[in-house]
């Protein structure tokens, strides 16, 4: 931990901390269908929110009725994501350049390298990714879970991907890694075969009650995925469910953390590390 803090102190140019979050996700729509309310809340509170999406969702649905063809789906879904990002307040969206549905067969080191690059560029205090089952058990979600876990440590290690360390880019050690999760009890009540975690395992509950309408507005940006969002929005008491979003704290650089939490930035220093 001491070494990681020292690496962060090499970054200059800040005193009062500008809060920063980076999400490492798999497809366009993951940001909205998942922690969209959390994104909107922290963006409204002044945090810089960055999103790195592994793919452009090229093998997803075309819309019902179709709004594009298979050849152009990736391009259309990227545009949908850009629209949703604007609604939620995401500062920058980056695409890592991998193919939808093929992350499990892509050399893991290549994906981790791209994720580490994003961490070092954006210098987030908080990372958000998927849990081990990826909520929907989509193989791409599960891959991005393991990528985030590895990248959390690798980004702080100057021996990992040293070619990235030029033009002012230095190793960076995020303080926390959160996994977006939903209580299994919620899925059971809805009768849907999704992968949650026991409610007792949730470590962090974010109040998103003021951002339900904005999250739903962002849903409608993903027109190709209308079948999915209509199904989600039709679930019993969905608006009530969306008044909070839940996470598991998967990694932290603190020796101890007071749980449960209501703030992703709980315990993180209010000032940038500054010069050595």
DSSP the chain: -HHHHHHHHT--S-SB---EEEEEESSTTHHHHTTHHHHHHHHHTT-EEEEEES---TTS--TTTTSS-GGGHHHHHHHHHHHHHHHHT-SEEEE--PPTT-GGGS-HHHHHHHHHHHHHHH--SEEEEE-TTTTT--HHHHHHHHHHHHHHHHTT-TTSSGGG--TT------SEEEEE--BHHHHHHHT-----B-GGG--EEEE-GGGHHHHHHHHTT-GGGHHHHHHHHTSTTHHHHTTEEEEEEEEESSS---SSBS-TTTT--SB-----
Q: Which pLDDT score, from 0 to 100, does residue 270 have? A: 80
Check pLDDT > 90 for residue 6: no
Q: What residues does 22 pair with on adjacent strands?
A: 50, 127
Q: Which pLDDT score, from 0 to 100, does residue 11 have? A: 41
**Confidence category of residue 9, pLDDT binned at 50, 70, 90:** very low
More confident residue, 53 or 16: 53
Rg (CA), the chain: 18
Q: Which pLDDT score, from 0 to 100, does residue 90 have? A: 98
Q: What is the mean pLDDT of residues 256-273?
A: 88
Q: Measuring CA to CA, which residue among 51, 7, 33, 16 is closest to residue 175? A: 7
Q: Which two tokens stand for residue 148?
A: 């985030």
Which stretch of 15-24, 129-138, 158-167, 224-233 has the lowest confidence by average pLDDT?
15-24
CA distance 159 to 165: 10
Q: Which pLDDT score, from 0 to 100, does residue 16 have? A: 59
- The answer to whether 226 and 63 have CB atoms below 8 angstroms apart is yes
More confident residue, 272 or 214: 214
High-pLDDT (> 90) share of the chain, % = 89
Average pLDDT, the chain: 92
Q: Which pLDDT score, from 0 to 100, does residue 12 have? A: 42
Domains observed in the chain: 2-252 (3.40.50.10320)
CA distance 173 to 120: 9
**Confidence category of residue 272, pLDDT binned at 50, 70, 90:** low
Q: What is the mean pLDDT of residues 139-155?
A: 98
**Confidence category of residue 267, pLDDT binned at 50, 70, 90:** very high
- The answer to whether 171 and 186 have CB atoms below 8 angstroms apart is no
Q: What is the mean pLDDT of residues 198-210?
A: 98
What predicted TM-score, i.e. pTM, was given to this entire model? 0.92
Q: What is the mean pLDDT of residues 100-112?
A: 98
Check pLDDT > 50 for residue 3: no
Q: Which pLDDT score, from 0 to 100, does residue 271 have? A: 67
């Amino acid at each position: 931990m001491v070494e990681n803090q020292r690496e962060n102190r090499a970054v200059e140019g800040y005193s009062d901390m500008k809060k920063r979050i980076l999400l490492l996700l798999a497809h366009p729509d993951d940001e909205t269908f998942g922690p969209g309310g959390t994104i909107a809340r922290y963006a409204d509170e002044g945090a810089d929110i960055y999103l790195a999406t592994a793919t452009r969702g090229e093998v997803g649905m075309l819309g019902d009725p179709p709004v594009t063809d298979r050849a152009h789906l990736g391009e259309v879904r990227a545009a949908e994501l850009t629209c949703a990002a604007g609604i939620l307040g995401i500062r920058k969206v980056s695409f890592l350049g991998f193919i939808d549905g093929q992350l499990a067969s892509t050399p893991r080191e290549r994906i981790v390298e791209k994720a580490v690059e994003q961490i070092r560029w954006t210098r987030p205090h908080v990372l958000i990714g998927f849990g081990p089952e990826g909520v929907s058990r989509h193989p791409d979600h599960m891959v991005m879970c393991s990528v985030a876990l590895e990248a959390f440590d690798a980004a702080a290690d100057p021996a990992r991907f040293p070619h990235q360390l030029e033009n002012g880019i230095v190793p960076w050690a995020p303080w926390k890694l959160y996994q977006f999760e939903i209580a299994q009890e919620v899925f059971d009540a809805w009768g849907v075969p999704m992968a949650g975690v026991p409610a007792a395992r949730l470590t962090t509950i974010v109040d998103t009650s003021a951002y339900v309408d904005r999250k739903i507005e962002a849903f409608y940006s993903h027109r190709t995925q209308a079948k999915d969002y209509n199904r989600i929005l039709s679930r019993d008491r969905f608006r009530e469910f969306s008044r909070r979003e839940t996470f598991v704290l998967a990694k932290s650089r603190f020796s101890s953390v007071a749980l449960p939490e209501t703030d992703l930035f709980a315990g993180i220093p209010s000032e940038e590390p500054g010069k050595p």
